[in-house]
Chain A
Amino acid sequence: MALLQIENLSRNFDGVKAVDDLSLSVEKGSVTALIGPNGAGKTTLFNLITGFMRPTSGNVTFDGKEITRLSPHRIVSQGIGRTFQTVRLFPKMTVLDNLMLPLSGTGEEGLFAALTGSAAMRRKEETNREKAAKLLESVGLAHKGNDDAETLSFGQRRLVEILRTLALEPRLCLFDEPVSGVFPEMIPTILKVIQEQKAHGRTVFFIEHNMETVREAADRVIVLHHGRKLAEGTPAEIFNHAGVHEAYFGRRRNAP
């Protein structure tokens, strides 16, 4: 069953068709990779799904419900979480506070709760702080909890951003290049976190350039080129797909 369905989605930027009449679907419980050369429209597609950009035309349906023109915070409440190609932590907040934000809800984050300093709010804060600390511990970053996020290494930032999205407990996770720019030692940790989501019944849709990573982590691959779907299949199928090689390298595989 398709958890995410995209129909005839388009987005133009001053005549550039970043996403061009695109239709695709992401199966529930799958780890689906989205690949394609630079400028193929991958990030734009994520921005369209999550409401950060408005499509020129077309529809996005999530779990049977149309979400096309909802604002970003409403799309989150539907159960879609995302990370960004350029990591976006809150630099001058502690790592723990970065993780507290997705764990907290509108009840305890209201002005009224702040003014009254309600006991319920303080209890919730306490349990959330424990949850946040556990999340950090699970990736060996417990000692970083009280440091500002800006003190983290780039790879640690990517990892914390992913954790922060997971703390939303989304049904669909969108990761935009989760391992790019990260030291090789960090890559297995991040891939492990991504793959664990399957066991939690979550669906993952992620953008990635490295074919090896895709082979390792994904069970479906969708190839985007000039804003259109070029191919779709298992990693093995895609790896042997002639058109994909042409899109990536500008020539056919095994061509003379």
Chain B
Amino acid sequence: MDYLLHILVITGIYIILASSLNLVLGYAGLPALGHMAFACVGAYTSSLLALDFGISPWLGLPLGGILAALLGFVVGLPSTRLKGDYLALATFGLGVIVYSVAKNWVDLTRGPMGLPGIPKFSLFGFELQPVWSYLLLVALFVVLTAFIINRIVTSPFGRVLVSIREDEVASLSLGKNVDAYKLTAFMVGAFFAGIAGSLYAHYITFIDPTSFTAMESISVLLMVVFGGMGSIAGPFVGASALVILPEMLRFLGMPSSVAAPLRQMIYGLLLVLLMLYRPQGIVGRYRFK
């Protein structure tokens, strides 16, 4: 039972990650390949605040989000100059840099040794120890994230983002400050990814840089593309499918030494099938040009 709840917690965290990337990728149309960098900053920020200064995760989590948003500004900067594949490569590179910093700035992050013993969330003096209680917390953040992102994309602000995706030059010709909107989209996306990272850290209670690799960023990207870019439901479908499908391998009695590499292969295969048969994703209607 706890195992099932655990899978749902992880799914919820990935839904937040995928939804936040969807704002940048699916709505503003900006190919961003380093999304886990923001989760990394969120996770380390609130973990270190808790471990070194005893700051509650309730405060650490929004602070992690804010720091991730600041990084979002930096990672978004290339989007004001570069397009398409070049932008994808630049954001990929920045993601790798953040990963390397987490791995090599040993004084701060303990590098590859990771941070053990990260405190859990507490409520009224009770630690959210049972998995079901944490699932409620994650579910709350999933709903909150989806609600806010939905509000953003259905607003005039979101309409400008979509116009940038559809035709950036035309958007400029209507007087939109396209660069400012791109940067804002990156910052908002990064904020929620930071929160997801923090939720992960205080759940697992241990983080190390390997949770935030480029491969992980690509998994989140795949969730968005698989579910359908530019729709609110897309990331839910994509994250659920891509977390739960590989888990089912275990029920087939596959040892984890086989299941892990198989997971990567399933992702790869799914991506190929998707591009061939349904490039707009399961529930989306927008595809890459």
Tell me if A202 is interfacial: C-beta within 8 Å of chain B. Answer: no
Within the assembled complex, what's the spacing in Å between the Cα atoms of A82 and B174? 8
**Chain A residues closer than 8 Å to B155, beta-carbon distance:** 113-114, 117, 121
Is the beta-carbon distance between A88 and B167 smaller than 8 angstroms?
yes
Is the beta-carbon distance between B286 and A92 smaller than 8 angstroms?
yes
Q: Which residue of B lies closest to A90 (CB)?
A: B166
Is the beta-carbon distance between A97 and B159 smaller than 8 angstroms?
yes
Is the beta-carbon distance between B169 and A111 smaller than 8 angstroms?
no
Is the beta-carbon distance between A50 and B166 smaller than 8 angstroms?
no
CB distance from A45 to the nearest CB of B (A): 16
**Chain A residues closer than 8 Å to B171, beta-carbon distance:** 90, 101
Within the assembled complex, what's the spacing in Å between the Cα atoms of A18 and B157? 37
Q: Which of B153-173 contact A (CB under 8 A)?
A: 155-160, 162-163, 166-167, 169-173
Q: Which of A89-133 contact B (CB under 8 A)?
A: 89-93, 97, 100-102, 104, 106, 108-111, 113-115, 117, 121, 125
Q: Tell whether A90 pairs with B156 under 8 Å between CB atoms, given A52-B169, A102-B175, A115-B151.
A: no
Tell me if B205 is interfacial: C-beta within 8 Å of chain A. Answer: no
**Chain B residues closer than 8 Å to A214, beta-carbon distance:** none
Tell me if A243 is interfacial: C-beta within 8 Å of chain B. Answer: no
Is the beta-carbon distance between A72 and B160 smaller than 8 angstroms?
no
Tell me if A135 is interfacial: C-beta within 8 Å of chain B. Answer: no
Contact pick for B285, options A89, A92, A109, CB 8 Å: A92
Tell me if A240 is interfacial: C-beta within 8 Å of chain B. Answer: no
CB distance from A28 to the nearest CB of B (A): 21
Q: Tell whether A72 pairs with B172 under 8 Å between CB atoms, given A92-B166, A93-B163, A115-B151.
A: yes
Tell me if B184 is interfacial: C-beta within 8 Å of chain A. Answer: yes
Q: Tell whether A73 pairs with B152 under 8 Å between CB atoms, given A92-B286, A114-B157.
A: no
- Most-contacted residue by chain B among A81, A106, A125 (CB, 10 A): A106
**Chain B residues closer than 8 Å to A81, beta-carbon distance:** 173
Q: Which residue of B lies closest to A91 (CB)?
A: B166
**Chain B residues closer than 8 Å to A110, beta-carbon distance:** 157
Q: Tell whether A76 pairs with B173 under 8 Å between CB atoms, given A88-B167, A111-B188.
A: yes
Within the assembled complex, what's the spacing in Å between the Cα atoms of A76 and B159? 19
Is the beta-carbon distance between B158 and A114 smaller than 8 angstroms?
yes
Instruction: Give the B interface residue count (CB, 8 A).
Output: 27
CB distance from B122 to the nearest CB of A (A): 28
Within the assembled complex, what's the spacing in Å between the Cα atoms of A102 and B171? 9
Contact pick for A121, options B152, B156, B167, B173, CB 8 Å: B156
Tell me if B59 is interfacial: C-beta within 8 Å of chain A. Answer: no
Within the assembled complex, what's the spacing in Å between the Cα atoms of A165 and B173? 8
- Most-contacted residue by chain A among B157, B178, B184 (CB, 10 A): B157
Contact pick for B170, options A90, A108, A117, CB 8 Å: A90
Q: Which residue of A lies closest to B177 (CB)?
A: A73
Tell me if A228 is interfacial: C-beta within 8 Å of chain B. Answer: no
Tell me if B176 is interfacial: C-beta within 8 Å of chain A. Answer: yes
Q: Which residue of B lies closest to A128 (CB)?
A: B156
Q: Which residue of B lies closest to A88 (CB)?
A: B170
Within the assembled complex, what's the spacing in Å between the Cα atoms of A81 and B170? 11
**Chain A residues closer than 8 Å to B176, beta-carbon distance:** 73, 101, 109
CB distance from B52 to the nearest CB of A (A): 32
Residues on B lying within 8 angstroms of A by beta carbon are 148, 151-152, 155-160, 162-163, 166-167, 169-178, 184, 188, 285-286
Closest 7 CB pairs of A and B: A76-B175, A114-B155, A90-B166, A88-B170, A114-B157, A72-B172, A109-B156
Having A90-B171, A111-B184, A114-B151, one finds 20 other A-B pairs with CB under 8 Å, namely: A52-B169, A73-B172, A73-B175, A88-B170, A90-B163, A90-B166, A92-B162, A92-B166, A93-B163, A93-B166, A97-B159, A100-B156, A101-B176, A109-B157, A113-B156, A113-B157, A114-B155, A114-B156, A115-B151, A165-B173
Q: Can you name 10 A-B pairs with beta carbons within 8 Å?
A: A77-B175, A88-B169, A92-B285, A101-B159, A101-B176, A102-B174, A106-B177, A111-B184, A113-B157, A114-B152
